Chains A and B, each alone.
Chain A
């Protein structure tokens, strides 16, 4: 089991009223923003289960929006976020689906990328799906995400590049649609890698998407 910090239970310092429904929502938004990176014009939130039922009362809608806009969990602006948003079209949808976690959301940017995640309690979050590929990102590590055409040798090619930077790999997860189909790889890192390294990974043959996800504070 990964060692957890004592501060996961005696903090964060945040605006209320709910750590899972407000702070967790902000952090899910922040993480999705870190993954999508591009400046977006449109964002849609699909809230599930308890997020859908009681989200309104907990400021979940405000928290998610504040997060994708880059505000941190203790920013008192969250309360009035709807009053200050400009140039971004945002919408919400509410669903019940027992196959999903009680506090779950899909965040869809510009109809192009869907980031799904759960708020698992005490402000902690987990991103578990990006554009249909299983993920496991909790924001505690810098993570390199790439999507590519499944073929032998990809793991060693990527790890070689990272190895040359003398960066330690904390964990590595892969998933694929089918043999030879589209595959995804998540590399959790102890320290962040530079954009030059990301460029090198992008140049690997058959890699079609790379993003360097910064960990959450």
Chain B
């Protein structure tokens, strides 16, 4: 899209008195040379694919190739069947759904990359769990996903969304900012509140490295999806209460990019540093490659 910064987006929304999702669907319709309804239908396809991944993920305990992961979602579901989560139903569902989707991904199951596959559990869990618990309509969920999409798009125009380029900041970090934007939109936040939630979420993931053990999208990726889904809720909650980020979103994105450049290549999806080089990781590696 032609909108390259959050300040430009704010200006456009205010000038035309429109929400971010309205601008997004209009721009996308122009790009596709299609009606807005066609764009919304395509977004709905994504949303339904996300719901399917959750559904499959909740049912399966099939382990990954490594045998390390695949049954954590079931542990949450079991516990919550008997006693609720400390922070109630929304927290319960978000963490469970995030793990369900991420585990489905590691089994080479079908998911929607949002923005990437390694971070695929964050946006869906936040949108779908909140919608179920807060009775948010499908149309509103589509608005949320469109808002998340615009946020991801603006960031991706400045920095490639790949762990190999900017670490996990650019994957789970950006997903968390997108989820914060979606939720803030769905809960009625205006343009400034949405973008403020983005800035708050992004500021607090700066420096996040990509150090997967043995190069698998498992450790620490899967559990990180649950953590950063909740991170998105915190950003949304603060923004809705009027807490403002002192550093504007655009400057935070620039910082994310620079931090990514400063990050050593050993911490960028090469599995040559960080958690991937711990004593335990090296032991796991030995066992794995014996298989």
Show the binding face of A for B, using Cβ within 8 Å: 1, 3-20, 22-23, 49-50, 53-59, 74, 76, 78-79, 102-103, 119-123
Contacts and interface: CB of A to CB of B under 8 A. Distances in A.
A55 B160 CA distance: 19
B20 to A, nearest CB: 11
B117 A13 contact: no
Nearest to B105: A16
B27 to A, nearest CB: 8
B104 interface: yes
B65 to A, nearest CB: 8
B85 interface: no
6 contacts: A9-B178, A13-B46, A14-B113, A16-B120, A20-B116, A76-B110
Given A7-B149, A11-B114, A59-B108, A20 B31 contact: no
A121 B160 contact: yes
B79 to A, nearest CB: 25
A7 B42 CA distance: 9
B269 A9 contact: no
B250 interface: no
Given A1-B4, A16-B105, A23-B113, A9 B268 contact: no
B49 A13 contact: yes
Given A13-B45, A19-B117, A120 B216 contact: no
Interface residues of B, number: 59
Given A19-B118, A23-B113, A102-B270, 20 more contacts: A1-B4, A4-B1, A4-B153, A10-B112, A10-B123, A14-B113, A15-B108, A17-B105, A17-B217, A19-B113, A20-B116, A20-B164, A20-B269, A53-B215, A56-B215, A57-B215, A76-B108, A102-B162, A121-B164, A123-B116
A50 B153 contact: no
Nearest to B3: A3
B43 A10 contact: yes
A20 B271 contact: no
Contact of A17 (B32, B42, B117): B117
Interface string B11-38: 0000000000000100110011000000
Contacts of B152: 6, 9-10
Interface of B: 1-2, 4, 24, 27-28, 31-32, 42-43, 45-46, 49, 104-118, 120, 123, 145-146, 148-150, 152-153, 156-157, 160-165, 170, 178, 212, 214-218, 265, 268-272
A54 B221 CA distance: 14
Contacts of A74: 110
Contacts of B42: 7
B157 A17 contact: no
Given A16-B217, A54-B215, A121-B170, A9 B108 contact: no
Given A13-B111, A16-B104, A53-B271, A120 B32 contact: no
Contacts of A57: 212, 214-217, 271
A11 to B, nearest CB: 5
| Residue of A54, A56, A119 ringed by the most chain B CB atoms within 10 A | A54
Contact of B270 (A5, A9, A54, A58): A54
B110 A9 contact: no
B115 A10 contact: yes
Contacts of A58: 215-217
Ranked nearest first, the 4 interchain pairs of A and B with the lowest CB-CB distance are A54-B215, A121-B162, A16-B105, A9-B152
B249 to A, nearest CB: 16
A3 B146 CA distance: 16
Contacts of B2: 1, 3
A20 to B, nearest CB: 5
Contacts of B217: 16-18, 57-58
B116 A122 contact: yes
A18 B1 contact: no
B110 A120 contact: no
A37 to B, nearest CB: 28
B101 to A, nearest CB: 10
Given A7-B42, A9-B152, A16 B270 contact: no
Contacts of B145: 10
